[in-house]
Structure 1
């Protein structure tokens, strides 16, 4: 398993895991202190998940783009595994709150939002690279948590604000699923775009 340790270290996964843990814990503490509800509301949960996903988004490419595209390694399988493990890690961290008095619930909403935002981040990585992959999730999340957004019977509103729609909302679930599957396939098959050598070469 030495290759796995090297892979995780080269992708800065320990740093991302620590950052995601800190962000999720901070949102949980604030909810515990400043609200009486046992369930962390969908807006706070969505913002927290977005920030945790952004932390892991930085791990979706390595320092050497040429190495990430070499034919001697089964990169599609490795990239897919990396993305799925990132999703599992974020979901596990959020699920730990169910042992306390302030919880990220329901689980269906946590899974939907994590999968959708991670897929959107992976899609961004495939198109513009990991360094900019956080932009689309940030913009969509900020739009979804606007005060004018909320549970709605209008399909267009449900799609625009899928992050805060109740669990089980069909349009929101479909939107998140499409983002998750599209992002997974695009990232697994393509990876990130090749950057100029000047951007990846070590400083001398």
Structure 2
């Protein structure tokens, strides 16, 4: 248990969790009427805040540690997806169905992990926020490439959106766990 406490403190998890709670509450409080785009924004903001802890204070220390980091990194990304989704679902299920929120959490956590591996933990928020911002302005259509690009805003039963979120989640988590975060 001691290592878990030290890990949480070194990754600024208590502060990130409090910030994610505040951002989720703020989005929920200003949303009327219910809107799936606001649910996606809530998950994006929670993932962005929580993902900052994907890199510790000293990357050299992380690389020289005698413990196996792979399972811990995978667990960290999975917990980011779970917590970001659970925070919104704890406030309301009116903004979007649970399947929509869980799919968003998995895909966005994978994007954050990919950004942490490529740019470092302090920039892990960039890919989730960037994908949200760009796909928000893509005109909707029934073409599969558009469904893939706008997976974050598609209906919960949309197959291309589910596959896109799943692939982003798996590829991002695996890349982060194997490649380690950048400095």
Tell me which residue corresponds to 2:19. Answer: 19
SS in structure 2 of the partner of residue 59 of structure 1: helix
Matched residues in 2 for 1:5 and 1:103: separation? Answer: 35
- Retained in 2: the 8 A contact 1:97–1:104? no
**1:152-167 equivalent positions in 2, closer than 5 A:** 152-167=141-156
Matched residues in 1 for 2:157 and 2:63: separation? Answer: 39
Which piece of structure 1 moves more, 129-138 or 58-67?
Answer: 129-138
- Retained in 2: the 8 A contact 1:80–1:188? yes
Matched residues in 1 for 2:135 and 2:71: separation? Answer: 32
SS in structure 2 of the partner of residue 58 of structure 1: helix
Aligned match of 2:50 in 47, 56, 66?
A: 56
Tell me which residue corresponds to 1:180. Answer: 169
Matched residues in 1 for 2:85 and 2:130: separation? Answer: 22
Per-residue Cα deviation, 1:8-50 (whole angstroms, up to 9, x for no partner) = 011000111011100110111112xxx2x4xx31211111211
* CA displacement at 1:71 relative to structure 2: 5.1
Tell me which residue corresponds to 2:8. Answer: 8
Tell me which residue corresponds to 2:37. Answer: 43
- Structure 1 segments, 4+ long, off by >4 Å, are none
Pair 1:144-2:138 in alignment? no
Pair 1:115-2:109 in alignment? no
The alignment covers a number of residue pairs equal to: 183
Per-residue Cα deviation, 1:57-96 (whole angstroms, up to 9, x for no partner) = 1100101111212251110011111111222211221111
TM-score (norm 2): 0.94
- Which structure shows the bigger proportion of residues in helix conformation? 2
- Retained in 1: the 8 A contact 2:73–2:177? yes
CA RMSD, 1 decimal: 1.4
Gaps of 5+ in 2: none
Tell me which residue corresponds to 1:126. Answer: 117
Pair member with larger Rg = 1
* CA displacement at 1:133 relative to structure 2: 2.0
Per-residue Cα deviation, 1:182-202 (whole angstroms, up to 9, x for no partner) = 011011112212x3xxxxxxx
Matched residues in 1 for 2:139 and 2:15: separation? Answer: 34
